[in-house]
Amino acid sequence: MYDEKIVLCGANSYEQKYYLNQEFGSLPEAVKNELQIMCVMFTEEIGGIIVLEYDEDGNLQIDVTSDEGDYLFDEIGCGLKVKQMQQDKRELFEALEMYYKVIYLGMEVEE
């Protein structure tokens, strides 16, 4: 088991960059594209930095931060957008969690 969080991907509105962890390069292109679009659109709309990361149990978490003094960062919209993403992308997130748990944590698939 890992003691720290493992980053799947993220986007940074300050540097206008997107990052996908190379360990997950074997994901299907459609999934990688969907993750990129989702993260980049989030930072374009809300601002700040969004990171999708796995905790030590293989649960996918969304972490959003902003620079101190960033008055353009939409704190209220951030919470709403994260909840919307969790609902709209629930199946994708569940599949990514299952992928991580099976491939990286060696867990058995539950039927």
With a CB cutoff of 8 Å and minimum separation 6, the contacts of 109 are 98, 102
* The pLDDT value given to residue 110: 67
What is the overall mean pLDDT for the chain? Answer: 92
On whether the CB atoms of residues 11 and 40 are closer than 8 A, the answer is: yes
DSSP category for residue 23: G
Strand order in the sheet with 49-54: 17-20, 6-12, 49-54, 60-65
* The pLDDT value given to residue 26: 93
* The pLDDT value given to residue 66: 95
Residues 10, 49: Cα–Cα separation, whole Å: 7
- Tens-binned pLDDT, residue by residue, of the chain (111 aa): 446 889 999 999 999 999 999 999 999 999 999 999 999 999 999 999 999 999 999 999 999 999 998 888 988 999 999 999 999 999 999 999 999 999 988 888 765
